Amino acid sequence: MRDSAEDDEGPFEEHEEHDVRDGGPDAAEEIGAYAGPGAYDEEEPEDEEGSEGSEETLVPEEEAVTGARAADAEPDVYLDVPLLKVDEIDLDVENLRAHVSLQAEVLDLLKLNVGADVALGRVHLGISGVEAQAQLKVRLDNVALIINRVLTTLDRNPQILEDLTRGVGLAVQDIGGGARQAVGELGAGTGRAVGDIGQGAGSAVRDVGRGAGAGV
């Protein structure tokens, strides 16, 4: 009985192994079909992490480009001396002054003074064996931008001009009223002065007549 039981279990186990191993290509395809989606499900988070990493790497590059543009901004006044060769130089300078000035006005809203000016009081310069090149650049782009913004503001808000012209009209009216008042007071003063002169002349004539009558 024992041997027969072992014999019965032996073929049964071999039959199960035969079913699993010899299932054929259909069984392998089914196993691969179920295994495939699991593999793709595991790969998707890696792609998302990779995309997030690429986005994070782009941000510093954009900031670097912005910083480079800010660093490349050219100044308004720039003095360039690309070449300077001097064997011997003796320089004495007194009262050296340099400034930028330009006058720009837009009605009573904007007044700008920008430009370039250099003044030397006293200079004593002795040079030998000198070769030099110098270039002075004055850029007024920022000034033009400010004026453009003011004009754009006036175009978008015409009531500003109305307020300005209204103020000018009131000022003219005040000046006209003051002038009329001054002329009126001047005329009244002149009339009073003429009246006083006439009264004085009449009294003088009467006094002269009385004196003449008394003398006769």
Closest alpha carbon to 142 in 41, 49, 74, 216: 74
Q: Could you give the percent of the chain with pLDDT greater than 90?
A: 0
N-to-C CA span, the chain: 198
- CB crowding 135-163: b at 16 or more within 10 Å, else e: eeeeebeebeebbeebeeebeeeeeeeee
Strand stretches in the chain, DSSP E:
77-99, 103-106, 110-113, 117-138
In this prediction the pTM is 0.28
Closest alpha carbon to 86 in 126, 135, 134, 128: 128
Strands 103-106 and 110-113: antiparallel
Lowest-pLDDT choice from 63-67, 125-129, 195-199: 63-67
Split at pLDDT 50, 70, 90, the class of 145 is confident
